[in-house]
Amino acid sequence: MLKMAFKRLTYKLLVILLSFYTFSTSAQEANVNAGKTLFKNNCAACHNKDMKSKMTGPALGGVQDRWDDEADLYEWIRNSQGMIASGNARATELWTEWKPTVMTSFPNLSDEDIANILAYVNDQMIPKGPVDAGGPSSECAVPTEAESGNRMLYVFLFVVLALLAVILARIISNLNYMQEVKETGIAPERKTLGQILTSKGVMSFVIFLAIVTAGSITVKKATSFGRQQGYQPKQPIAFSHITHACEHKIDCKYCHDGARRSKHSVIPAANTCMNCHKAIKYGSTYGTAELTKIYASVGFNPNTDKYIENYDQLAEEDIKKIFTRWISSQAAEHDVPNDEVAELEIDQWDGIVEALTDEKAGDNSIAGPIEWKRIHNLPDHVYFNHSQHVTVGKLECQQCHGKVEQMKVVRQYAPLSMGWCINCHRQTEVKFASNGYYDNYYENYHEEIKNLKRNKVTVEDIGGTECQKCHY
Ligand code: HEC
Ligand code: HEC
Ligand code: HEC
Ligand code: HEC
Ligand code: HEC
Ligand code: HEC
CA dihedral 200, 201, 203, 205 (to 10 degrees): 150
Tell me, what amino acid is at 187?
Answer: A
pLDDT at 145: 46
Among candidate residues 268, 327, 325, the one with its CA nearest the CA of residue 298: 268
pLDDT at 3: 53
**Which CATH number does the domain housing residue 14 bear?**
1.10.760.10
pLDDT of 16 above 60 = no
pLDDT of 9 above 60 = no
pLDDT at 172: 83
Q: What band does 439 get if pLDDT is binned at 50, 70 and 90?
A: low
Verify cis geometry, omega within 30 degrees of 0, for the bond prior to 130.
Answer: no
Residue where a domain stops, chosen among 80, 96, 125: 125
Report the percentage of the chain scoring pLDDT > 70.
81
- Report pTM: 0.66
For range 359-370, the mean pLDDT: 84
Pocket-testing residue among 235, 237, 272, 276, ligand 3, by greatest number of atoms within 8 A of Cβ: 276
Q: What band does 65 get if pLDDT is binned at 50, 70 and 90?
A: confident
Output the residue whose Cα is nearest ligand 4's atom 39.
397
pLDDT at 185: 78
Q: Is residue 289 part of a domain?
A: yes
Among candidate residues 94, 397, 113, the one with its CA nearest the CA of residue 241: 397
Q: Which residues lie with the beta carbon below 6 Å from any ligand 5 atom?
A: 378, 382-384, 388-389, 392-393, 395, 399-400, 416, 420-421, 424-425, 428, 430, 459, 462-464, 469-470
Q: Is residue 392 part of a domain?
A: no
Residue where a domain stops, chosen among 97, 125, 153: 125
Pocket-testing residue among 384, 388, 394, 420, ligand 5, by greatest number of atoms within 8 A of Cβ: 388
Q: What band does 403 get if pLDDT is binned at 50, 70 and 90?
A: very high
Q: Is residue 227 part of a domain?
A: no
454 and 355 assigned to the same domain: no
pLDDT at 237: 95
Q: Alpha-carbon distance 126 to 171, whole Å?
A: 45
pLDDT at 335: 86
Q: pLDDT higher for 307 or 360? A: 307
9 and 103 assigned to the same domain: yes
pLDDT at 6: 53
Residue 454 — left, alpha, or beta (φ > 0 → left; ψ -120 to 50 → alpha)? beta
SS3 471: strand
9 and 94 assigned to the same domain: yes
Q: Is residue 11 part of a domain?
A: yes
345 and 438 assigned to the same domain: no
354 and 437 assigned to the same domain: no
Q: What band does 453 get if pLDDT is binned at 50, 70 and 90?
A: low
HSE-CB of 199 using CA atoms within 13 angstroms: 8
How far, CA to CA in Å, does 351 sit from each of 244, 316, 324, 336? 22, 14, 12, 19
Among candidate residues 49, 25, 52, the one with its CA nearest the CA of residue 38: 49
Q: Alpha-carbon distance 141 to 242, whole Å?
A: 9
Q: Which atom of ligand 6 is nearest to the CA of 466?
A: 5
**CA of 240 relative to ligand 3 center, distance in Å:** 8
Q: Which atom of ligand 2 is nearest to the CA of 136?
A: 38
Q: Is residue 86 part of a domain?
A: yes
Q: Which of 65-74, 141-150, 400-409 has the lowest mean pLDDT?
A: 141-150
Q: Alpha-carbon distance 311 to 297, whole Å?
A: 10
Q: pLDDT higher for 64 or 128? A: 64
357 and 449 assigned to the same domain: no
403 CB within 6 A, ligand 2: no
HSE-CB of 52 using CA atoms within 13 angstroms: 11
Q: What band does 5 get if pLDDT is binned at 50, 70 and 90?
A: low
pLDDT at 445: 66
Cβ burial of 89 (10 Å; 0-12, 13-18, 19+) is exposed
Tell me, what amino acid is at 425?
Answer: H
Q: Which of 110-119, 130-139, 183-192, 421-430 has the lowest mean pLDDT?
A: 130-139
| Ligand located closest to 275 CA | 3
401 CB within 6 A, ligand 2: yes
Output the residue whose Cα is nearest ligand 6's atom 33.
467
Q: What band does 160 get if pLDDT is binned at 50, 70 and 90?
A: confident
Sign of the Cα torsion 325, 326, 327, 331 reads: positive
111 and 27 assigned to the same domain: yes
pLDDT (tens digit per residue) in 181-239: 888 877 777 777 777 777 777 788 888 888 887 877 776 655 555 557 778 888 999 99
Q: Alpha-carbon distance 283 to 277, whole Å?
A: 9
pLDDT at 434: 53
431 and 357 assigned to the same domain: no
Q: pLDDT higher for 431 or 453? A: 431
9 and 102 assigned to the same domain: yes
pLDDT at 459: 87
Q: Alpha-carbon distance 467 to 472, whole Å?
A: 9
Give the number of domains in the chain.
Answer: 3
Q: Is residue 205 part of a domain?
A: no
Q: Alpha-carbon distance 381 to 153, whole Å?
A: 44
pLDDT of 456 above 90 = no
Q: Which of 24-38, 50-64, 442-456 has the lowest mean pLDDT?
A: 442-456
Tell me, what amino acid is at 256?
Answer: H
pLDDT (tens digit per residue) in 266-318: 899 999 999 999 999 999 999 999 999 999 999 999 999 999 999 989 999 99
Distant-in-sequence contacts of 277-281, Cβ < 8 A, 24+ apart:
278/305, 281/330
pLDDT of 133 above 50 = no
Output the residue whose Cα is nearest ligand 2's atom 10.
267
For range 305-332, the mean pLDDT: 93
**CA of 377 relative to ligand 1 center, distance in Å:** 49
Q: What band does 132 get if pLDDT is binned at 50, 70 and 90?
A: very low
Q: Alpha-carbon distance 425 to 415, whole Å?
A: 15
Q: pLDDT higher for 262 or 20? A: 262
Reported as type and span, the H/E element at residue 163 is: helix 144-184
Q: pLDDT higher for 362 or 392? A: 392
Q: Is residue 356 part of a domain?
A: yes
pLDDT of 136 above 50 = no
Domain extent, residue 102, equals: 2-125
For range 90-95, the mean pLDDT: 93
Output the residue whose Cα is nearest ligand 2's atom 22.
410
Residue where a domain stops, chosen among 107, 125, 143: 125
Q: pLDDT higher for 224 or 247? A: 247
Q: Alpha-carbon distance 300 to 308, whole Å?
A: 6
Q: Are 323 and 292 in contact (CB under 8 A)?
A: yes
**CA of 263 relative to ligand 6 center, distance in Å:** 18
Q: Is residue 130 part of a domain?
A: no
119 and 39 assigned to the same domain: yes
